Chain A
């Protein structure tokens, strides 16, 4: 049923497959409230509950840095996107 213009990604057909494939990757998680979280995805589940490491919170500009683990409740998540995140040398 794929109309033209789609990449033939044989490995990720369903959202569940996508969720399994992105563990350990840098991701961008946007919440319904508009807040952005960037970090490395540790794990997630079918409710879109998320555990991330080295998480940074962006609201317009950069607000807070959370090091260690951050758990985000799935109902707040608008999307999860992979990113080619460059680790910014902060401190």
Chain B
């Protein structure tokens, strides 16, 4: 294992495999975030997550003051299938949370 040949170069998906059975953070389209345990995934980034917390962020703009009101709503889902085309980013959980 001294030198890496190009045929054994790791892909990003190989590194996601290291996160199997670990808790991960997933950023989805439509301003949604998930935190849960990764049970399975595939090349489309379809994923099976367990013990999931979903956070939906909405921004309202007040008609009069034009201030931005940021709201988040959370829900817990014990078992979840995520379709891969909605996934933006996958990462180990944020430590600052």
Contact = CB atoms under 8 A, between A and B. Distances in A.
Given A20-B6, A43-B11, A45-B11, A69 B92 contact: yes
B94 A51 contact: no
A76 B30 CA distance: 13
Identify whether the interface residues of B are mostly helix, strand, loop, or mixed: mixed
B48 interface: no
Given A65-B96, A73-B45, A73-B84, A42 B90 contact: no
Interface residues of A, number: 23
Interface in A38-64: 42-45, 49-51, 55, 64
Pick from B13, B29, B89, B90 the residue with the most CB of A within 10 Å: B89
A67 interface: yes
Contacts of B6: 20
Interface string B3-29: 000100111110110000000000001
B63 interface: no
A78 B46 CA distance: 21
Interface of B: 6, 9-13, 15-16, 29, 45, 84-85, 87-92, 94-96
8 contacts: A20-B6, A45-B12, A45-B13, A51-B15, A55-B91, A69-B92, A70-B89, A72-B88
Interface of A: 20, 31, 33, 42-45, 49-51, 55, 64-73, 75-76
